[in-house]
Amino acid sequence: MATYTLTDNQCYHCGTAITSTGYILDEKNFCCIGCQSVYQVLNSNNLCSYYSYNDSPGQTQHSESKHFEYLDESGIITRLIDYSDENITTVTFYIPAIHCSSCIWLLEHLHKLNAAVVNSRIDFLKKQVSITFKQQQFSLRKLVELLVSLGYEPLISLQDVVKDKQNTDNRDLIKKIAVAGFCMGNVMLLSFPEYFGLSSFDQQFKSLFGWLNLAFAIPVTFYCGRIFFSSAWAGLKHKIINLDAPLALIIAVLFLRSAFEIISSTGPGFTDTLTGLIFLLLMGRWVKQRTYHHLSFDRDYRSYFPVAVTVLKKEMEKPVAIEELSIGDRILIRNNEIIPADAILMRGEAYVDFSFVTGESAPLRKVLGEMLYAGGRQIGEAIELEVIKPVSQSYLTGLWNNETFKITDNKLQNFNDMIAKYFSLATFIIAFSAAGFWIYSSDSSKAWSSFTAVLIVACPCVLALSTPFTLSAVLSIFDKNRFYLKNTDVVEQLAKIDTIVFDKTGTITSADLIHLSFSGDLSAEEKILVASLARNSSHPLSREIVKWLDVNTFREVMNFTEIAGKGICGTVNGRQLKLGKSTFVSSGKLSQIDSAQVQLDINGIYKGCFKIKQQWRSGLNQLLQTLSQHADLHLLSGDNESERENLSHFFPVPEQMHFAQSPQNKLDYIKNLQSEGHKVMMLGDGLNDAGALKQSNLGVAVTDNINNFNPGCDAILDGSSMMSLSRFMTQATDAVKTIHMSLVISASYNLVGIYFAVQGILSPLTAAVLMPLSTITIIIFTSVSARYFAGKNRLNSPVEQVFKV
């Protein structure tokens, strides 16, 4: 068991640096009352082993109260749960907070906290927990509330919580690999006597071995190899020759020639090559298919929106799934809830944060009768709205349903499919000329054998393997450096990019780096008063203010009240303090809102305000300078022009900076660049970039917490790794270089094979040796060179994984 040393400045529960004192229990420090109460719950239930597996494994507690009334609605419950009978219900949640063994331990001991929980199992990599509970004693809502109270809030959405389909796809492929491996092993065994030469005594076995080999080849060709035929056929139907087309042809030729030789007893056939080939090809597919389960790249608006919203009907509040919202419904939106549909404000004071939708950083005040677009987040009191458009047709969701996305695939063709055409053509020319030569020399049996042998030996299997192995090596290198790609094709796209478009808010600025300043003067005593008041609130801004004030002594606060979304007030040392929005701090003169502000008022006298400015990510200047050598840089911002001057330092061409861009503007801008022949990479973060991310050749979502919502994209880049972007691009280019080099290696092997093949003297043994030899060379070459280039690009040493922020 790990021993805990009492460190003065770290929370025992969550490890946050403690800025204020006062929360001490059992000689342990806590940063806030939330952390302390979780500790108390665990301690009273004898669950303190939670703290022994890892130091401070908990999550920082947020005081935002969430409403889970909708989890009492049977319609919603049935859509969330996996299984239910009279006694028990099983449900699977995605919980982003799962990050260490303590999490596993605690969540698998839920039954100690509530006896109604029968069983809970964690899938660590997917960050999922399956919980079986007795629903008569414990409702789904209570279960979720229990998880939330422990700091493990499940991400409940109707879209991408649990993905079963991917799993079954993967299982199917592994099954095929197993069958192919089984048959390959047996065929190899039965082919050995043929390799070493059968004595006349053993000749009786020859035809038996042949027939057994053929029997093993049948399931491999028709069951395991079927995916190559169907993929080739699908390509041909669209008049495209993809890499699977020559592969399917080779499989067919190998099988037919083997079957012909074995049935007619004219030779041993190539069943060993055939089964080995398919086994290796399937391995290549498997390597390519391995993705990162914990990330979702195909999220749409449904995972951003809540599952349900409160509808007011005849003065009654009733939770309704958002798909079932209809025009004219009156909905209630509380503090920090998201407006799910375009609606008109009917009652209350709306102060809406549209930063995610438009990129505008300051919240907007809306008056009665005004229209509110879906996607905004209400800050302040509860408001009532009347829905005027169904969820699926709102301004925002309309971008996703944009028809253009369904028709055009704007991704660039990858190298393999491009080369497959020429490869097939060259192979056919050689095969036909060899056959033609032998027919001309009137040796028709040699014509047939040389024709088939050329097709067999010119197998592009090395090509089919070098790509997935190289790219997946790059993928895992990127993964270690916190750049997560959707699939291996994205690496190739990355190598071709010549234009990079940036979004401003959240992309080149960081949400975490807040720069505070205070307009006005505060005496040392006043600083203590403000800090004493602010440390009682868990609002992020209050915490920032306490940090900024940097005082060591605190006074007692009386009558502390916190009004969500407005501010805090209380009496300290006999003086009345108010801290919050200008509407809350009544004496505050309404100053212009240019960035988020917190007003301060002491004893009714306006003291000034704390200004919050976003900061550029560190190292941005250097990054943009390096990138500008490879690519054209553009900036699209939803914000106003106030930052234009600061940014002109980074983006020297004024025509490539655009402000006040709507989501549609952004999309059109990218389309325009593409029509000029540019290969565009878009970096964005919000919903407002979603259309542009999708339209671009490579959409990268930049995020400071990879578990947060991010729009649909090809890659997710952790904000802290943004500075490595240029190195990622070099690595991608190097990877493509590696693939080209492995093509040369494979071609030299093929030439050796073709030398035998055109003469019609390719023995099954040569084929069986040549193929695995070239494959092994390529696999070694690709993985070694990927790592070599990673070292060269200073990407090899993985950045230390930090799970907690």
Contact footprint for another protein (CB under 8 A) = 1, 3-4, 26, 43, 46, 48-49, 51-53, 101, 104-105, 108-109, 121-126, 167, 171, 174-175, 178-179, 182, 185-186, 189-190, 201-202, 204-205, 208, 212
What gap in Å lies between CA 365 and CA 360, rounded to an integer?
13
Cα distances (Å, whole numbers) of residue 138 to 111, 128, 143, 305: 12, 20, 7, 26
State the minimum distance, in angstroms, from the CB of residue 52 to another protein.
6
Element housing 189 (H / E) = helix 165-196
Please count the other Cβ atoms lying within 10 Å of the Cβ belonging to residue 240: 14
Coil, helix or strand at residue 401: coil
Task: Report in angstroms how near the CB of residue 53 gets to another protein at its nearest.
Answer: 8
Nearest distance from residue 705's CB to another protein, in Å? 21
Look at residue 772 and give its three-state secondary structure. Answer: helix
State the Cα torsion 620-622-625-627 to the nearest 10°. Answer: -70
Cβ proximity to another protein, 104 vs 577, nearer residue = 104
Joined tokens for residue 134: 């007795």
For residues 804 and 96, what is the distance between their CA atoms, to the nearest angstrom? 11
The three state secondary structure string of 268-288 is CCCHHHHHHHHHHHHHHHHHH
Q: Which is nearer to another protein, 45 or 326 (CB)?
A: 45
Rg (CA), the chain: 32
Nearer to another protein, 47 or 557 (CB): 47
As a whole number of angstroms, the distance between CA 149 and CA 536 comes to 19
The distance of closest approach from Cβ of residue 267 to another protein in the complex, given in angstroms and rounded to an integer, is 21
Total residue count of the chain as it appears in this document: 805
- Nearer to another protein by Cβ, of 183 and 680: the residue is 183
Q: Alpha carbon 251 to chain centroid distance?
A: 36
Closest CB to another protein among 23 and 39? 39
Q: Which is nearer to another protein, 111 or 611 (CB)?
A: 111
Q: Least distance to another protein from the beta carbon of 47, Å?
A: 9
Comparing CB distances to another protein, the nearer of 107 and 795 is 107
Partnered with residue 601 across adjacent β-strands are 578, 606
| Shortest Cβ 126–another protein spacing (Å) | 8
Q: Please say whether the beta carbons of 9 and 31 come within 8 A.
A: no
Instruction: State the CB neighbour count (10 A cutoff) for residue 507.
Output: 27
Q: Count CB-CB contacts under 10 A for residue 167.
A: 12
DSSP calls for 32-91 = SHHHHHHHHHHHHTT-TTHHHHSSS------------GGGG-HHHHHHHEEEE-SSEEEE
Query: Which residue matches tokens 């565009």?
Result: 680
Task: Give whichever of 150 and 385 is closer to another protein, judged by the CB atom.
Answer: 150
Residue carrying structure tokens 């593409």 = 674
Nearest distance in Å: CB 256, another protein: 25
The distance of closest approach from Cβ of residue 187 to another protein in the complex, given in angstroms and rounded to an integer, is: 11
Closer Cβ to another protein, 49 or 797, answer by number = 49
Distance from C-alpha of 66 to C-alpha of 156, rounded to nearest angstrom: 12
In the bound complex, what is the minimum distance in angstroms from residue 684's beta carbon to another protein? 32
State the minimum distance, in angstroms, from the CB of residue 179 to another protein. Answer: 7
* CB-nearer residue toward another protein: 12 or 650: 12
